[in-house]
Copies of this chain bind each other. A is one copy, B any other.
Amino acid sequence: MTTVQDPEDLTARARIRDAAIRHIGEHGFERATIRDIAESAGVSLGLVRHHFGSKQALREACDEHLMKTVRRLNAEAAGSPPAGFNPVAALGPYRAYLARALTEGWAAPLFDEMTRIGERWLAAADRDRADPPDVPPRARAAVMAAMALSVTVLYPHVCRGMDADLSTPEGERLLMRTLVEVYSQPVLGPEAAAEARAWLG
């Protein structure tokens, strides 16, 4: 979460980066302007260029910072099992940026890393399972990674659909309970799955 009380105690470079993450997360890369970012960070337009060179480079610095943060959060939350399923709370201000990064074309490495993590998790989970699945583990991991990220990416719609603010503790709890429910109940029953498999040949 990195709850920073006073922006003054950060270096200007860090303040610019954080402001960029906020603005890009909120408006997307195209609509976020260097001028607005500079104003939010309390610096001049020129300083952004001085530190980062270009808007692209600024975005790449944000990506790098997000990557580091996600890795750190992932390492921290490796212990408590359900935390890995919460796609909103832990990310804080990075949530919106991550959604933009995933949907606006960049951030491929991040998704790929999540797929790899999912693949290892799946391999462990499949070890004690009777019927071996006949689809490539990579494919399953990719689809499950996408699903795990769906709430993060479609956050506003999910908020609206659930009729709750997922950034509040109550909303977070509701989301977690819903996720447990959804993840513990198969969507397709055995007979429906068999039918679908037969249909697919």
Contact = CB atoms under 8 A, between A and B. Distances in A.
Interface in A115-161: 115, 133-136, 138-147, 149-151, 153-154, 156-158, 160-161
B162 A138 contact: yes
Interface stretch (A5-13, A58-66, A71-79, A173-181): A173-181
A115 B184 contact: no
B185 A186 contact: yes
Contacts of A111: 154, 157, 160-161
B161 A112 contact: yes
Contacts of A144: 182, 187
Contacts of A81: 192, 195-196, 199
Contacts of A102: 154, 157
Oligomeric state, in number of copies? 2
Nearest to A131: B185
A192 B182 CA distance: 13
A145 to B, nearest CB: 7
A108 B178 CA distance: 21
A114 B33 CA distance: 34
Contacts of A162: 136, 138-139, 142-143
Given A108-B157, A162-B138, A184 B190 contact: yes
Nearest to A115: B161
A139 B178 contact: yes
B158 A142 contact: yes
Q: Which of A143, A144, A186, A196 has the most CB of B within 10 A?
A: A143
A54 interface: no
A45 to B, nearest CB: 21
19 contacts: A82-B200, A85-B196, A99-B103, A112-B161, A133-B181, A136-B174, A139-B175, A142-B162, A143-B182, A144-B187, A145-B157, A145-B161, A146-B150, A146-B153, A149-B154, A177-B200, A180-B188, A184-B186, A184-B190
